[in-house]
Structure 1
Amino acid sequence: MGEPGTRTPRERYRAQVQEEIKQHAWGQIATAGASALSLNAIARQMGMSGPALYRYFANRDELITELVKDAYRSLADTFAAGAEAGTGLDGLAHALRRWALEDPQRYFLVYGTPVPGYKAPEDTTRITAEIMAYLLDACAGEQSTPSPALRRALAFWTRLHGVLSLELAGHFTGMGLDPAELYADEVQALGTSWH
């Protein structure tokens, strides 16, 4: 499809319906998880037949792929804004946490338990390379060679995702700690461990 201003009315309508379908899908994911996603249930919610909805998304996996792409794109855009602002690793870390807390289901779709039977197409995961590139650039700015930068970026990524996953899944409840402080401590520890 062309640019938004050059699309035909039919193309604009199709894009609007696809966005509405995705919003209903996010609602289902929030209440029952991604593995329970049902195109027929979405069709009923929208007052359309199942076959009519399948004109917009051929199957569940195609819809999940679009949701995954949207989630990764959202995080890549968040990191791009942080990199443009020159926030460094600390800024990217806090941007990641804000992004995850803003919509935990989006976070879990891309970083949580895999959806049974779903495998993302190769082009879907290319955006993850863009996300990692922002981390590598931030790390390389503080290191002299790419190998230590890659190690630092991966340590940063895995440790922060560990804390975020536990926080979003509610595992800190009742422990008497502030997840934001724990996250900030982890960011600080990661920063000082490489100097």
Structure 2
Amino acid sequence: MTSGGIRDRFRAQMRVEVKDAALRQLAEGGATALSLNAIAKELGVSGPALYRYFAGRDALLTELILDAYADLTDALRAAPADLAAQAAAYRNWALAQPHRYRLLFSAPLPGYDAHDERLVAAGQRAMDVLLASAAPGPQPPADLARQFTAWSGAADPAAALHAVTWWSRLHGFVSLEIEGNFASMGLDADLLFASTMFW
């Protein structure tokens, strides 16, 4: 193997280790706990050395978000092509790694561009799975229909309304669940999910 090949493998391995350390930080303290200096210390390298692999905290955060969207999209695609099965897959993914779910849907960090084109496109790929499974319902008002057409491309605005309404409901349920709200009410989240998400 050439020295360039060895360097490439080392670089790839270091990037994986940095991301793994960052995910541990997110799990323990949320996005505000993300610290390149702490990651460097954990990995036994200098802080400046990490800038060979990520341009800064925001660059690392962006890659973590892109990875999370890709994994969520894969989970949705692996489910049968109906909204009930995809809702279960969405919930299971969020419950298995709530720190990554929060990374996608919590308020962005101050100064972080959460509307970066790459992030918007990654989120759209997840929504496209739901759009493909949504059956048309009532037609939205004309202005909203035009917005749905601009957002979703070729999707029927009525199907887009169904998908977004369904996702909003699902997201609300999952967000309440991972923050412990149902548990504090003494409600069994599995029974509640089965009883409320499939009306």
TM bucket, shorter chain: 0.7 to 0.9
Q: Is the 8 A contact 1:160 1:183 kept in 2?
A: no
1:108 aligns with 2:102: yes
Alignment-derived partner of residue 189 in structure 2: 179
Instruction: Summarize the alignment of residues 39-188 of structure 1 with structure 2, pairs less than 5 Å apart.
Output: 39-82=36-79, 86-120=80-114, 121-140=116-135, 146-188=156-198
> Is 1:13 the equivalent of 2:10?
yes
TM-score by length of 1: 0.86
What is the root-mean-square deviation of aligned Cα atoms in Å? 1.7
Cα contact 1:93–1:160 (8 A) shared by 2: yes
Give unpaired runs (5+ residues) of structure 1: 1-6, 190-195
Query: What percent identity do the matched residue pairs reach?
Result: 46
Q: After superposition, what is the alpha-carbon deviation per residue over 1:72-105, rounded to whole angstroms, capped at 9, x for unaligned?
A: 00011111212xxx34111100000110011000
Name the amino acid aligned to 1:41: A
Question: C-alpha deviations, 1:95-142, integer Å up to 9, x for none?
Answer: 0011001100000000123222211321222011111111111014x6
The letter of the residue matching 2:131 is: L
Name the CA distance, whole Å, in 2 between partners of 1:143 and 1:155: 11
Instruction: Give structure 1 regions of 4+ aligned residues with deviation exceeding 3 angstroms.
Output: 142-145
Distance 1:38 1:56 in 2: 14
